[in-house]
A and B are shown apart, each in its own frame.
Chain A
Amino acid sequence: EDQVTQSPEALRLQEGESSSLNCSYTVSGLRGLFWYRQDPGKGPEFLFTLYSAGEEKEKERLKATLTKKESFLHITAPKPEDSATYLCAAYTDKLIFGTGTRLQVFP
């Protein structure tokens, strides 16, 4: 069965304290790995798509990487405005979502 698992479930960071979020996947025929940001009371907001192992993409303090079994979202020197839930989703012929990592960044 296709599955996407995110860890940790929740992460508390001090402002400026870099860390990584993990997304491991077990799917048949990965066609893309998506990262989304979700703020409370809002819908998921698209961040990145990664298509093949070894690919990396960056946006401000965020960098996403992909291997054959997992993806990482690296957050460098986070700020309080980076607080949100981060979702990853594996695309086969449909999107399979993980349950998210809830990130809180404190000043």
Chain B
Amino acid sequence: NAGVTQTPKFRILKIGQSMTLQCAQDMNHNYMYWYRQDPGMGLKLIYYSVGAGITDKGEVPNGYNVSRSTTEDFPLRLELAAPSQTSVYFCASSLDRSNQPQHFGDGTRLSIL
């Protein structure tokens, strides 16, 4: 099993460009999450999904959009990239949204210049 796979690993965008960060999991987990990690800050939840077709906002959703058409995939969309969105983005999944551990991908490092 690959676990949680994120692509791309690195990306540089210009201000105003758009892009989609891909996330796929092969553990048949219902719950998926997007976090951002900034230096000196804890991981912050952007969006999460409890299953195909169902998504909800986390702590810092502004400037992002998500969709969940399948159990396996949970892409994160940046529509108008801003310098404040320079960060490392992590996707995670868990069996359910109780106290089960979340399993993380290796991240996408995004710079917006």
A interface with B by C-beta (< 8 Å): 4, 31-32, 34, 36, 41-46, 49, 51, 87, 89, 91, 93-100
* Chain B residues within 8 Å of A, Cβ to Cβ: 4, 40-45, 58-59, 90, 92, 97-99, 101-107
Interchain CB contact (< 8 A) of B45 among A32, A44, A94, A100: A94
- Sample of 18 A–B contacts (CB below 8 Å): A4-B42, A34-B101, A41-B107, A43-B90, A43-B104, A43-B105, A44-B90, A46-B102, A46-B103, A91-B99, A94-B59, A95-B43, A95-B45, A95-B102, A97-B42, A97-B43, A99-B40, A100-B42
For B91, give the chain A residue with the smallest CB separation: A43
Chain A residues within an 8 Å CB radius of B99: 31-32, 49, 51, 91
Q: How far is the CA of A84 from the CA of B102 in the complex (A)?
A: 19
In the assembly, what is the distance between CA of A67 and CA of B32, in Å? 29
C-alpha spacing A72/B101, complex, angstroms: 18
